[in-house]
Amino acid sequence: MTTKTTPAPIDSGKGVSGNWGREDEDQVLERLELLLSEHDPGSMPAEEFWGHQFDAGLAWINFPPGHGGLGLAPGLQGIVNDRLTEEKVSRLNVARNVIGHGMGAPTVVAHGSEQQMERWLRPMFTAEEIWCQLFSEPGAGSDVAGLATRAVKDGDEWIVNGQKVWTTLAHTSRWGMLVARTDADLPKHQGLTYFIVDMRQPGVEVRPLRQITGEAEFNEVYFTDARIPDSYRLGAVGDGWRVALTTLMNERVAIGSTQLPRGGGAIAETTAVWIEKGLTDPYLRDEMMKLWCEAEALRLTGMRANQARALGTPGPEGSTSKLHWADLNKRISTFTVDLMGAEGMLLPEGYPFVTPEEAGAGRLTRQKSFLRARANSIEGGTSEIMKNILGERVLGLPGEPRVDKDVPWKTVPR
Ligand SMILES: Cc1cc2nc3c(=O)[nH]c(=O)nc-3n(C[C@H](O)[C@H](O)[C@H](O)COP(=O)(O)OP(=O)(O)OC[C@H]3O[C@@H](n4cnc5c(N)ncnc54)[C@H](O)[C@@H]3O)c2cc1C
């Protein structure tokens, strides 16, 4: 995951419509002013204000009342965010807990019980509890449904053994979204169950993985007889794939449709270098403007995808933005270091081994952003997989052969 400013999660799963009327808008405005009059954001720690925002139902406006929302159209969240930005309310809770906000919240609200929403959503919103995604394994990335981590029932608990990998922010996380195999006799998609696992318990070992940037924003995670209460299961036993799809769909939209200002994001660095260096070459200007136009087209497409997402569960269109974003981000960051000349080859800050508190490229230098962009076509589903999804689900082309789909998972060679 790389996004710094994910849009509000949309899939409430509780039948919220995408439209709103004057009355809804008035209700939101009234609550906003009440929140600000009762709790001055400038006079308290940010976490405390975010907590009040959650309690006022203004965290994720489409979520059910009592769980951070008002059950209203998600598009109204924009009004809240704009007004709070005017009041200088920090949005660091989103940046710190990017996986919780982008993927955890929509998954918990779509599939969780009342008690589960009550337990997890508030500290997730305030970023007092960070979340990570425990899907990928050494032998199961693109084919995540083939995963091998096992969960075995033991009374009211499950015992988990196995290994996950590329787990962004596992080192700061309190909770992990875990998909594990609970029945190896069934075909791969059917034998999976979705759990929320406490990352701070014995039996969960987090080891950092150093990336090309020198940083370790992701990790390997080893489970050795880790225990999960059955009450931390999300969805039915064997229904883990359906729950995981909610997480994955939201991940693609969150990555590909980040809401940036016009000319913002990676292209802002390009234009900044152009101005700083006083460049004038007409050929280079032409190249830069082509990239700028593509970035603007992607930004507008992202806005449209977010509007569409406001009407329900994200569909395959999230894959379009994700695919284009990954390719464009690489081209823009390459062009930026090219414009920098020899300076673009240097890492002035050195190559220290750090485990950052936030994921993504937002705080990296231009040179490291260039390096970090290499991961864009891998994270959140590779570009080849995005093309497969688009080919099959949008263009209606024949699917690729899937010989292991209907046979018991345990009989598939690995
Ligand atoms: C920065 C970063 C952060 C990440 N964060 C997380 C995280 O927080 N949690 C998590 O669970 N995972 C995370 N991942 C893992 C990521 O989801 C996987 O790396 C990705 O899904 C690809 O899986 P893989 O690495 O096993 O590659 P593989 O699946 O082994 O793919 C290898 C190559 O084969 C290609 N390929 C595979 N199958 C097909 C096919 N059917 N058709 C065509 N080509 C194919 C792929 O496109 C790729 O080029 C992260 C990855 C990165 C880079």
d(CA 291, CA 413): 45
Evaluate if residue 280 carries a pLDDT over 50. yes
Q: Quote the pLDDT of residue 349.
A: 83
Which position among 137, 251, 269, 379 bears the catalytic label? 251
Say what the pLDDT of residue 221 is.
98
Q: How close is the Cα of 294 to the center of ligand 1, in Å?
A: 26
In total, the chain counts a number of residues equal to 414
Ligand 1 cavity residues, CB under 6 Å: 1, 132-133, 135-136, 141-142, 166-168, 218, 375, 378-379, 381-382, 384-385, 388, 400
Per-residue model confidence (pLDDT) at position 9: 41
Orientation angle between helical segments 46-55 and 22-38, nearest 10 degrees: 140
Residue environment code for 376-399, b if the CB has 16+ CB neighbours within 10 A, otherwise e: bbebbbbbebbebbbeeeeeeeee
Local confidence band at 166 (pLDDT 50, 70, 90 cut-offs) = very high
Can you name the residues that pair with 373 across neighbouring β-strands?
A: none
pLDDT tens-digit series, residues 214-235: 999 999 999 999 999 999 999 9
What are the tens digits of pLDDT across the range 297-356?
A: 999 888 877 776 666 556 666 778 889 999 999 999 999 999 999 999 998 888 888 888
Checking if the pLDDT of 16 tops 70, the result is no
Question: pTM value?
Answer: 0.92
Name all contacts of 384-388 with Cβ < 8 Å and 24+ positions apart: 384/142, 385/142, 386/252, 386/319, 386/320, 386/322, 386/323, 386/326, 387/323
Tell whether the model's pLDDT for residue 163 goes beyond 90: yes
Q: Average pLDDT, stretch 17-22?
A: 73
Which tokens belong to 174? Answer: 């309190």
User: Which 3 state secondary structure label does DSSP give 223?
Assistant: strand
Rounded Cα distance, 65 and 62, in Å: 9
Can you give the pLDDT at residue 322? 87
Residue-averaged pLDDT of the chain:
91
Is residue 7 helix, strand or coil? coil
pLDDT cut 70: percent of the chain above it: 92
Evaluate the CA torsion angle 93, 99, 103, 106 in order and state its sign. Answer: negative
CB 161 within 8 A of CB 224: yes
pLDDT of res. 110 = 96
Give pLDDT, residue 393. 86
**How many whole angstroms from 381 Cα to the centroid of ligand 1?**
6
Contacts of 275 (CB under 8 A, 6+ apart): none
Q: What is the arithmetic mean of pLDDT over 347-376?
A: 87
Q: How far is the CA of 252 from the centre of ligand 1 (A)?
A: 13
* Residue to mutate (ligand 1; options 194, 379, 387, 397; most atoms within 8 A of CB): 379
Confidence at residue 6, expressed as pLDDT on a 0 to 100 scale: 35
HEC per residue, 225-294 = EEEEEHHHEECCCCCHHHHHHHHHHHHHHHHHCCCCCCCCCHHHHHHHHHHHHCCCCHHHHHHHHHHHHH
Whether pLDDT at 20 is above 70: yes
Please name the helix (run of DSSP H) or strand (run of DSSP E) that holds residue 399, with its range, or none.
Answer: none
